[in-house]
Amino acid sequence: MVKTRRKNNLKKRKKAIISIFTILFLFLLYMSTKITYSPKNKSVASVTPTSTVISDNKKIETNRNVEILLSSAGDCTIGTDPSFDRSTSLPTIVRDRNNDYSYLFKNSAPIFQKDDITIVNLETTFTNATERAEKTFTFKAPPEFSKALILGSIEGVNISNNHTRDYLDKGFTDTISTLKQNNINYFGENNKWIKEINGVKLGFLGYTGWQYNDRLIDKLKKDIEELKAENCVVIINFHWGEENSYYPNSTQKSIAHYAVDQGADLVIGHHPHVVQGIEKYKDKIICYSLGNFCFGGNSNPRDKDTFVLQAKFSFNNNNLEKYSVRAIPFSISSVNYKNDYCPTPLEGDSKERVLKKINNLSSPLGFQVSDSFD
């Protein structure tokens, strides 16, 4: 009887142990299916995991949604011409504020600080050279004025325009050296800039586009192909068009369409010193002229309207899925009776007036833009 009871007790213990291990195994198996992965950092652009797949060979493949916000502004002539009234010139305005270089972009910096990249057209030289080109206007500022770009949260500048060599080769090389010393990126004049954010590459090109000729289009095709081979979204700045004209000419349109045909994703224009319309061509945006921005080329221009074009790019697995744009109306000055060289976002009726103006100019091109993303 004793042996029989011992055997029964042993059997019960074995069953209990087996049951415990079975429950533990099933619990661990269940928990293994609930493991998820999330990104550690959202450094510059937003990154959101959309799915996680654990395959048979133990590799983890994660689809990622990435958004990048780009701001573009127009002509930034940070300097003056020696024939201008020195008392009202941009350098004097800054000097009178105890060399506060942040002054120039103080009203636009809050917008630029919130994006991932800001680019402008740098239409000046940073140099102390004195020998200048034989032309009507030549612009320069001492190299220390380049600090305004950094303080304004501007990461990249286009240097392909008709004032890049106002102080000849010396002025050009001084400008490049100054930009390098201050870690300000530049593109144009045979320079490309590639910026990588969370695995996504944006490539920037700049050209003067006075004529549609073989030299330009061959260069365009080659440069775009090179950036596309590196899997870049291609953003091109063109300095082109006719001064004070509110409508793009046939040369601008031909160059812009050709650039998109070759793979350009976004085309930004400047030089006319006034706003021109926006076009959507083959699902890509062409902004023909942003107008002036921080403009030391005139102490009181008749038309002070301008805008910042923002593009929001959406990527999935490093591939551009779509992008949208918005226009932020600005004045080149914080006051309306003169140019104080401090571009300022507009509000109320003034904002609505400039937005309506942009859309009236864009209407013949078949596009309308909002001040917010759709």
| Domain boundaries defined on the chain | 65-365
- The helix/strand/coil state of 292 is strand
Contact 171, 129 (CB under 8 A): yes
Average pLDDT over residues 66-77: 97
How far apart CA 116 and CA 28 sit, in angstroms, is: 43
In the structure, what pLDDT confidence band is assigned to residue 8 with cuts at 50, 70 and 90? low
Q: Show the tokens assigned to 233.
A: 């979204």
Contact 275, 293 (CB under 8 A): no
Per-residue model confidence (pLDDT) at position 64: 76
Per-residue model confidence (pLDDT) at position 212: 98
Position with higher pLDDT, 40 vs 168:
168
pTM for the model: 0.84
Residue 291 confidence (pLDDT) above 80: yes
Residue 12 confidence (pLDDT) above 90: no
Tell me, what DSSP letter sits at residue 208? E
Position with higher pLDDT, 360 vs 59:
360
The one-letter amino acid code at 146 reads: S
Contact 231, 203 (CB under 8 A): no
Contact 259, 236 (CB under 8 A): yes
Q: CA dist 248 to 256, 283, 286, 297, 362, Å?
A: 10, 19, 11, 22, 10
- Residue found by looking up tokens 């403009």 in the block: 295
Q: What is the pLDDT of residues 87-128, one digit of tens each?
A: 999 999 999 999 999 999 999 999 999 999 999 999 999 999
How far apart CA 169 and CA 172 sit, in angstroms, is: 5
How far apart CA 112 and CA 183 sit, in angstroms, is: 17
- Count of C-beta atoms within a 10 Å radius of residue 276: 27
Q: CA dist 117 to 42, 69, 249, Å?
A: 15, 7, 29
Tell me the pairing of strands 319-331 and 305-316.
antiparallel
Residues 48-71: b if buried by 16+ CB within 10 A, e if exposed = eeeeeeeeeeeeeeeebebbbbbb
Q: What percent of the chain has pLDDT over 70?
A: 83
* Nearest C-alpha neighbor of 162 from the set 121, 204, 101, 111: 121
How far apart CA 259 and CA 269 sit, in angstroms, is: 12
Determine which helix (DSSP H) or strand (DSSP E) holds 67, and give its type and residue range: strand 60-77
Residue 44 confidence (pLDDT) above 50: no
Mean of the per-residue pLDDT values of the chain: 88
65-365: CATH architecture: 4-Layer Sandwich (3.60)
